[in-house]
Amino acid sequence: MSVLTRDEAQTRARFLDVERYVIDLDLTVGEETFGSVTTVHFTVREGPGDTFVEVRPAALGRVVLDGAELDPGELSEGRFPLRGLAAGEHELRVEAEMRYSRVGEGMHRFVDPVDGRAYVYTQCCISDAPLVFACFDQPDLKAEFEVAVTAPPEWTVLSNGVAARTGGGEGRWECARTPRISTYLMAVVAGPYHSVRTEHAGLPFGLHVRRSLGEYLEADAHELLDITRRCFDRYHEIFDEPYPFDSYDQAFVPEFNAGAMENPGLVTFRDEFVYRSAVTATERQTRGIVIAHEMAHMWFGDLVTLRWWDDIWLNESFAEYMGYQTLSEATSYTDAWTDFGVSRKCWGYDADERPSTHPVAPEAEAVPDTAAARTNFDGISYSKGAAALRQLVAWLGEKAFLAGINEHFARHRFGNATLADFLESLARASDRDVHGWAERWLRTTGVDTLVPRAEGGEVEVEHRGGRPHRLAIGLYDEAPADPGRLVLRERLERDVPAQGGLSVRLDGPQPDLLLLNDGDLTYAKVRLDARSWQTARRTLSGLPGQLTRAVVWNAARDMVRDGELAPLEYVRTVRAHLPAESDNAVVEGVLAFGRTQVADRFAAPDGERAEVLGLLSETCRELLEGVGARDAGVRLTAVRYFIDCATSPRELAAWRAAGSVPGGPELDAELRWRLLLRLAVLGAVGVADVEAALEADPSATGEEGAARCSAALPDAAGKAAAWEAMFGEEDALSNYLFAATAQGFWQPEQARLLGGFAERYFADAMRVSERRGASLAELAGRYAFPRMWVDAGTLARGEECLRSGVPVRALRRAWVDQLDDLRRALRVREAARG
Catalytic residues: 294
Output 160-164 pairs: Cβ under 8 A, ≥24 positions apart.
Answer: 160/185, 160/186, 160/187, 160/245, 160/263, 160/264, 160/265, 160/266, 161/245, 161/246, 161/247, 161/265, 162/204, 162/246, 162/247
∠ CA(365), CA(371), CA(372), 5° rounding? 40
Give Cα 124 to chain centroid, integer Å: 17
Pairing of strands 502-505, 458-464: antiparallel
**Positive or negative, the Cα torsion across 327, 333, 334, 340?**
negative
Q: Which string of DSSP letters, residue by residue, matches 49-96?
A: EEEEEE---SEEEEEEETTEEE-GGG-BTTEEEEEEEPSEEEEEEEEE
Q: Which residues pair with 716 in a beta bridge?
A: none
555 contacts 479 by C-beta, under 8 angstroms: no
Question: Using CA atoms, how far apart are residues 160 and 249, in angstroms rounded to an integer?
Answer: 9
Exposed/middle/buried for residue 563 (C-beta within 10 Å: 0-12, 13-18, 19+) = middle
710 contacts 690 by C-beta, under 8 angstroms: yes
Question: Using CA atoms, how far apart are residues 176 and 772, in angstroms rounded to an integer?
Answer: 35
End-to-end Cα distance, the chain: 51
The H-or-E segment that residue 35 falls in is: strand 33-44
Question: Using CA atoms, how far apart are residues 442 and 539, in angstroms rounded to an integer?
Answer: 37
Question: Using CA atoms, how far apart are residues 510 and 532, in angstroms rounded to an integer?
Answer: 10
Pairing of strands 172-175, 144-150: antiparallel
135 contacts 54 by C-beta, under 8 angstroms: yes
Question: Using CA atoms, how far apart are residues 15 and 48, in angstroms rounded to an integer?
Answer: 10
571 contacts 613 by C-beta, under 8 angstroms: no
The H-or-E segment that residue 496 falls in is: strand 486-496
4 contacts 127 by C-beta, under 8 angstroms: yes
Question: Using CA atoms, how far apart are residues 480 and 503, in angstroms rounded to an integer?
Answer: 28
Question: Using CA atoms, how far apart are residues 503 and 491, in angstroms rounded to an integer?
Answer: 15
Q: Which string of DSSP letters, residue by residue, matches 143-203?
A: BEEEEEEE--TT-EEEESS-EEE-TT-TTEEEEPPP-SB-GGG--EEEES-EEEEEEETTE
Q: Which of 369, 688, 394, 429 is nearest to 521 (CA)?
A: 394
Question: Using CA atoms, how far apart are residues 568 and 573, in angstroms rounded to an integer?
Answer: 9
Question: Using CA atoms, how far apart are residues 241 and 262, in angstroms rounded to an integer?
Answer: 18
